[in-house]
Amino acid sequence: MSRIGKLPIPIPKGVEAKIDGQTVSVKGPKGTLEFTVPDLVTISTEEDGSIKVDPVDLEQRSRAMWGLSRTMIANLVTGVTTGFKKDLQINGVGYRAAVQGKTLELSLGFSHPVKYAIPEGIDIKCPKPTEIEVSGIDKQRVGQVAAEIRKWRPPEPYKGKGIKYADETIVRKEGKKK
């Protein structure tokens, strides 16, 4: 029995959820998102306005899709109400970031500045030259963009230089000894 899957998904005020076959579309103050649920689960609306997800049968694959589908629909509701945000920090001498129009320009110690085109639906801000805030309504796209930015210069274990998530801890190594 899925502990996550059996919980109903509450729909807050100002959010409109429509179920059309296996597709759930959620419309809120920040935008519209939709998700197609696998055929191994069924979705229904409760009388209090919440959404309920149930497996078709109790086989392993159906139970796995049950919890996944419930979480994906809950992420849609959270995305259109509050949105998602990932914070990145840049450590290193001379390393910095700046947003210029629809481009994020990173200076990461290469012989040239790295230019990253900001995708549609994603908002990137640089409150300080060493901080990057990636935000949007789609959790997967926000995480993907943050991972692509981090990929340019992942943090190294000796001095900790590079781009890291704000909540990430770098396991540091000791240098050579004489």
* Rounded Cα distance, 99 and 116, in Å: 9
Residue 4 lies in a domain: no
Residue 140 lies in a domain: yes
Tokens 């012989």 -> residue: 111
User: What is the pLDDT, as a whole number, of residue 176?
Assistant: 86
User: Distance between terminal CA atoms of the chain?
Assistant: 58
Residues 31-89: tens digit of each pLDDT: 999 999 999 999 999 888 899 999 999 899 998 999 999 999 999 999 999 999 999 99
User: What is the pLDDT, as a whole number, of residue 178?
Assistant: 80
User: What is the pLDDT, as a whole number, of residue 128?
Assistant: 94
Residue 1, pLDDT above cutoff 80: no
* Rounded Cα distance, 152 and 42, in Å: 41
Residues 113-165: tens digit of each pLDDT: 999 999 999 999 999 999 999 999 999 999 999 999 999 999 999 998 999 99
Which of residues 81, 100, 133 is at a domain's end? Answer: 81
User: What is the pLDDT, as a whole number, of residue 124?
Assistant: 96
Domain that holds residue 103: 84-165
Are residues 77 and 92 part of one domain?
Answer: no
User: What is the pLDDT, as a whole number, of residue 162?
Assistant: 94
Residue 160 lies in a domain: yes
Percent of the residues in the chain that have a pLDDT greater than 90, as a whole number: 83
CA distances from 68 to 2, 12, 120, 177 (A): 10, 21, 26, 49
pTM confidence score? 0.88
Q: At 102, is the pLDDT very low, low, confident or very high (cuts 50, 70, 90)?
A: very high
Instruction: Describe the crossing of helices 139-151 and 60-81 by its angle, rounded to 10 degrees.
Output: 90
Residue 2, pLDDT above cutoff 90: no
Residue 6 lies in a domain: no
Are residues 106 and 73 part of one domain?
Answer: no
Which of residues 36, 53, 81 is at a domain's end? Answer: 81
Residue 129 lies in a domain: yes
Are residues 92 and 30 part of one domain?
Answer: no
Are residues 90 and 76 part of one domain?
Answer: no
Residue 61 lies in a domain: yes
Are residues 99 and 137 part of one domain?
Answer: yes
Domains identified in the chain, total number: 2
Residue 5, pLDDT above cutoff 90: no
Are residues 112 and 62 part of one domain?
Answer: no
In terms of DSSP H, where are the helices of 27-81?
60-81
Are residues 50 and 119 part of one domain?
Answer: no
Are residues 66 and 38 part of one domain?
Answer: yes
Which of residues 81, 99, 132 is at a domain's end? Answer: 81
Q: Which two tokens stand for residue 36?
A: 């197609």
pLDDT, mean of residues 81-98: 95
User: What is the pLDDT, as a whole number, of residue 4?
Assistant: 86
Are residues 89 and 77 part of one domain?
Answer: no
Are residues 153 and 88 part of one domain?
Answer: yes
